[in-house]
Amino acid sequence: MIHLSMALALAGSGDHEVTLGTTLAGHTAPRQIAGGAGLGLAWRVHLSERLDAGIALDGLVFSVPALGTTAGLGLRAAERGLWQARVGVEAGALWGRITVLSPEHPKPPGAPPVGLRLVVRPAVLDLGDSVVSLGELAYGRPLEDPLHGHAFRATVIAVGRRW
């Protein structure tokens, strides 16, 4: 629902960037596991000279088929130019999971795996109408058990268009 709200907000804002990339994402927590590798479609809006907002949709396979949804905010480290490093924060959910039950926890967690992650996009190349991003990495913790487990998302390469 948050993702949907953000999408509607983005649709009416600033200039846009849509990329398609190869994505790895995972969520390993004591009671739920999800993730895999696949393709990720991202849509970002430049809200100001330094601030971006974006959402992403990932189709993943490996553990079980999973759909990843991500929403986040990013800051550009430099003014507009060919090279633009960005950092940010994002929340990501993975739909499609393995749940782990035990005598102490006989019921599956009610919510899907959600992680809160810090994002580094060190090599975003602005080529005018096109954009290429290499080596994006997001790492954080599962919201349901922040002290245990990992939540991550990595994009090896993403290419797309700006308008």
Distance of alpha carbon 37 from alpha carbon 41, whole angstroms: 13
- The verdict on 59 binding other proteins (CB under 8 A) reads no
- Give CA 93 to chain center in angstroms: 9
- The verdict on 28 binding other proteins (CB under 8 A) reads yes
SS3 3: helix
CB of 101 to other proteins, least distance (A): 4
- Give CA 122 to chain center in angstroms: 15
| 150 contacts 128 by C-beta, under 8 angstroms | no
CB of 64 to other proteins, least distance (A): 5
Binding residues with other proteins: total (CB under 8 A): 26
Which residue, chain included where needed, has tokens 């553990």?
63
CB of 30 to other proteins, least distance (A): 7
CB of 75 to other proteins, least distance (A): 32
Tell me, residue by residue from 98 to 117, as one string, x for binding to other proteins by CB under 8 A and - for no binding: xxxxxxxxxxx-xx------
- The verdict on 54 binding other proteins (CB under 8 A) reads no
- Give CA 96 to chain center in angstroms: 16
- The verdict on 68 binding other proteins (CB under 8 A) reads no
- The verdict on 85 binding other proteins (CB under 8 A) reads no
Which residue, chain included where needed, has tokens 């907000």?
9
- The verdict on 159 binding other proteins (CB under 8 A) reads no
The pair of structure tokens assigned to 31 is: 């009671």
Q: Which residues bind to other proteins, rule: CB under 8 A?
A: 26, 28, 30, 33, 35-36, 61-65, 96-108, 110-111
